[in-house]
Amino acid sequence: MVSLNRLMLIGNVGTDPEMRYTPNGKAVTTFRLAVTRRFNGQDGERQDDTEWFTTVTWNALAEQCSQWLTKGRRVFIEGRLKSNTWTGADGVARFGNEVIASRVLFLDRGENQPNNSNQQQPAAREPVAAQSSAQPPSEEDLPW
């Protein structure tokens, strides 16, 4: 039987990324992502419902996210959902989910984008891609 664990999110980075290294030397970057759903309530008023996701990136993708992402940036994230359970300091069992990202597309231009004349800059609406594989995404891979 085939199974699938794939998650695609578009939202805003809610915290500045934090990069660290494992004892084996692998880079890991963690940040929070806010995904907001807008809808009209029963009273006709426009309402927002925001979900928060802890996002984890590894290796070269982690280094790219640490370097280029900042709080407020708009991103597309593709990855898988991972559930964790642990016992807190108070002895109570805890449960949490995190997104293990395999691809991150930067959907807006950040202030800290490189301004090197040798490097081609994307157009204002063209996403900048960071992903774990060395190949750039094709147009078929874009979420719109």
Q: Tell me which of 113 and 135 has the higher pLDDT.
A: 113
Written as one letter, the residue type at 143 is P
Q: What is the pLDDT of residue 131?
A: 52
pLDDT of residue 143 exceeding 50: no
Could you tell me whether strands 74-87 and 46-58 are parallel, antiparallel, or unpaired per DSSP bridges? unpaired
pLDDT at 113: 52
Which domains are assigned to the chain? 7-113+122-132 (2.40.50.140)
- 89-97: average pLDDT: 92
